[in-house]
Structure 1
Amino acid sequence: MTYLVLSVLFLGVATGVSAVVSWATGRRTPWRPAALAAVALLVLTAVFDNLMIAAGLFAYSDAQISGLRVGLAPVEDFAYPVAAVILLPALWSLLGGDDDR
């Protein structure tokens, strides 16, 4: 399985869970804060992935990635912060994080 397929599956699960939770709870993700979080996470991913790859902490087989990169980091690495921005607000809502206690 390539990193692209894994990333698409991960994004699909995150989007599906978010949609189901939004439908079930009637709560929608506040997209302005989510967009701000996404930008911050994508910038941090770009910086730290590039630093870790440049330092030789890990490497990617060219056969397992699409070949598109942001610096040294494959674009597939950016799916995980996007999935977190999609999934975590839904899980917060599902687990009662918005309830006044």
Structure 2
Amino acid sequence: MTYLQLAGIFLAAATTGGVALSLLARPRGPRVAAVAITIAALFLLTALFDTIMIATGLFHYSPGHLLGVHIGLAPIEDFAYPLAGALLLPALWVALRARRRARDVRSDSAADAVNEEQA
């Protein structure tokens, strides 16, 4: 299996999860501009730190399993992981907040019903 195939599987799973979670958390999904800024920052950091780590010899890649496109010394396949994180994690955050908000509303409604019965 090549690095591209592995990254593609990981990215497909993260994208599917991110889309599903965003749909579940409607109408307040993650903000597109915030996700885009996050992707840009993560790509910059990935290019910078992967280049430094590869240059210092902390790790290397088998050239036979790479596509051959690099940004700095970082192979293009390495950028799938920060992209996946930037797509999946904000959607997960919004979905969990929506779930918590719904639970809090149910708790408040139950407390109001108890208070009405006692009055």
Report the residue type matching 2:9 in the other structure. Answer: L
Cα 1:97–1:46 shift into 2, 3 Å: farther
Q: Look up the match of 2:7.
A: 7
CA distance in 1, matches of 2:97, 2:70: 38
Q: Look up the match of 1:48.
A: 49
Q: Secondary structure at the match of 2:61?
A: coil
- The two structures, once aligned, show a CA RMSD in angstroms of 1.7
How far off is 1:76 after superposition?
0.3
CA distance in 1, matches of 2:51, 2:78: 11
What aligned pairs does 1:20-99 form with structure 2 within 5 A after superposition? 20-26=20-26, 27-96=28-97, 99=100
How far off is 1:15 after superposition?
0.8
Quick check: 1:4–1:66 contact (8 Å CA) kept in 2?
A: yes
Question: In terms of Rg, which structure is larger?
Answer: 2
Q: Which runs of 5+ in 2 are unaligned?
A: 105-119
How far off is 1:11 after superposition?
0.9
Which range is displaced more, 21-30 or 78-87?
Answer: 21-30
How far off is 1:63 after superposition?
1.1
Quick check: 2:10–2:84 contact (8 Å CA) kept in 1?
A: yes
Report the residue type matching 2:47 in the other structure. Answer: A
CA distance in 1, matches of 2:91, 2:40: 19
Report the residue type matching 2:79 in the other structure. Answer: F
Query: Which of the pair is proportionally richer in helix?
Result: 2
Higher relative contact order (CA 8 A, sep 6+): 1
CA distance in 2, matches of 1:99, 1:41: 28
Q: Quick one: percent identity of the two aligned structures? A: 46
Q: Which runs of 5+ in 1 are unaligned?
A: none
CA distance in 1, matches of 2:63, 2:98: 41
CA distance in 1, matches of 2:70, 2:20: 32
